[in-house]
């Protein structure tokens, strides 16, 4: 298991998942881009959850191996989304909505001086 450290907290996740998040972070940082990934984690009671983490510049993410009595957290679907860059990115949705709003034609009475 690995512990991911971000500006917003610590999240215990599987080793492969943490390594994929760090790889994605390094790729985005090198390209001067920002992105987000949804990371499955396990809290101290063993309850599963997920968190959206910002990756790329100017964010900082750290990782360290941690001992755990729980089995290694594995989530093949999450791992594939992180590695393949197929996350549902809210930034893409905002850009799409903004583009749609730009295309709307306003009624003449709204545009009148």
Q: Which of 40, 31, 32 is nearest to 4 (CA)?
A: 40
Location of structure tokens 């197929």: 86
Instruction: Inform me whether the pLDDT recorded for 17 exceeds 80.
Output: yes
Mean local confidence (pLDDT), 48-52:
91
pLDDT one-digit tens code per residue, 68-101: 888 999 999 999 999 987 765 555 544 444 444 4
Among the listed residues 62, 45, 42, the one whose alpha carbon sits nearest the alpha carbon of residue 1: 42
Q: Is the pLDDT of residue 107 over 60?
A: no
pTM of the predicted protein model: 0.75
Tell me how crowded residue 54 is: count the other CB atoms within 10 A of its CB: 16
């Amino acid at each position: 298991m690995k512990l991911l450290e971000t500006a917003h907290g610590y999240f215990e996740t599987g080793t492969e998942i943490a390594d994929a998040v760090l790889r994605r972070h390094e790729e985005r940082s090198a390209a001067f881009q920002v992105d987000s990934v949804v990371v499955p984690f396990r809290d101290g009671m063993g309850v599963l959850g997920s968190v959206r983490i910002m990756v790329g510049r100017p964010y900082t993410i750290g990782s360290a191996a941690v001992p755990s009595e729980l089995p290694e957290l594995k989530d093949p679907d999450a791992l594939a989304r992180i590695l393949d860059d197929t996350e549902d990115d809210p930034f893409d949705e905002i850009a799409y909505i903004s583009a749609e709003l730009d295309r709307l034609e306003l009624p003449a009475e709204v545009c009148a001086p």
